[in-house]
């Protein structure tokens, strides 16, 4: 299984090199560190499934998908993963997406770990940096005083409307602390959430932002 992990990492590294800084391989490495930290508190978790799911969870993200994009199943099949491993990894990945707050059902503890690990990288200092990196890559405004954050939306609405970067904090990032599932995820989210709140307060003071 260690050989499978190595093959997977080599393949996905090339894929993430094509993404912007908000979803590059550095993001994968940070999520992996988060996932391993959470795994240490949940001894029954299958760490191989967790690691494979972390490596693969963004390779066909709708934000970057092209006609040539491989799915996690395609890639796992190409490196010789067995059917059970493929299905367990896919089940874990399916639990990750935020999709406008419409979180999918968790099918396993491995899915909970990967979801919390990924969401931790969306908040705190790194979450702030990633938000503005993605907004810059897409040509979005830093903030928009006229924009109202949507607290209820469909997955299609969430993915298709291009809001200002600061609005994204109110539509997603500030909600993630309460959506953590694992105890370690909840604990790690507290400090990161508080940092974002203070950042937004400082931003408000500097630009008079009101959402």
Over the stretch 124-153, which tens digit does the pLDDT of each residue have? 999 999 999 999 999 999 999 888 887 766
Q: What was the pLDDT predicted at 101?
A: 54
Number of helices (H), then strands (E), belonging to the chain: the values are 10, 0
Which pLDDT band holds residue 155 (cuts at 50, 70, 90)? low
pLDDT in tens, 14-65: 999 999 999 999 999 999 999 999 999 999 999 999 999 999 999 999 888 8
Contact 67, 24 (CB under 8 A): no
d(CA 19, CA 119): 18
Q: What was the pLDDT predicted at 153?
A: 61
Strands (E), 49-117: none
Give the pTM: 0.91
Residue 191 has pLDDT above 90, yes or no: yes
Backbone torsion region of residue 55, taken as left when φ is above 0, otherwise alpha when ψ lies between -120 and 50, otherwise beta: alpha
Q: How far is CA 10 from CA 68, 102, 146, 190, in A?
A: 18, 32, 45, 34
- Give the Cβ contact number of residue 147 at 10 Å: 16
Q: What ranges do the domains of the chain cover?
A: 2-207
Percent of the chain residues topping a pLDDT of 70 = 91
Q: What was the pLDDT predicted at 103?
A: 65
Average pLDDT in the 73-85 region?
96
Element (H, E) at 166: helix 165-171
CATH topology of domain 2-207: Hypothetical protein af1432 (1.10.3210)
């Amino acid at each position: 299984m260690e050989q499978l992990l190595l093959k997977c990492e080599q393949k996905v590294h090339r894929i993430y090199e094509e993404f912007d800084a908000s979803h590059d391989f550095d993001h994968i490495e940070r999520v992996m560190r988060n996932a391993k930290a959470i795994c240490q508190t949940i001894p029954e978790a299958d760490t191989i499934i967790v690691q494979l799911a972390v490596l693969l969870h963004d390779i066909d993200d709708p934000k970057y998908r092209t006609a040539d994009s491989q799915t996690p199943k395609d890639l796992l099949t190409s490196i010789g993963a067995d059917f059970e491993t493929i299905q367990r990894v896919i089940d874990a990945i399916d639990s990750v997406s935020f999709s406008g707050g419409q979180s999918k059902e968790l099918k396993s503890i491995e899915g909970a770990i990967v979801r919390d690990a990924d969401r931790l990288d969306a908040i705190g200092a790194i979450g702030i940096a990633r938000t503005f990196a993605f907004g810059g890559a897409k040509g979005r405004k830093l903030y928009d005083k006229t924009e109202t954050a949507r607290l209820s939306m469909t997955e299609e609405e969430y993915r298709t409307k291009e809001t200002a970067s600061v609005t994204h904090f109110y539509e997603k990032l500030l909600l993630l602390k309460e959506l953590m599932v694992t105890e370690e995820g909840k604990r790690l989210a507290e400090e990161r959430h508080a940092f974002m709140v203070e950042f937004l307060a400082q931003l408000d003071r500097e630009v008079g932002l009101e959402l």
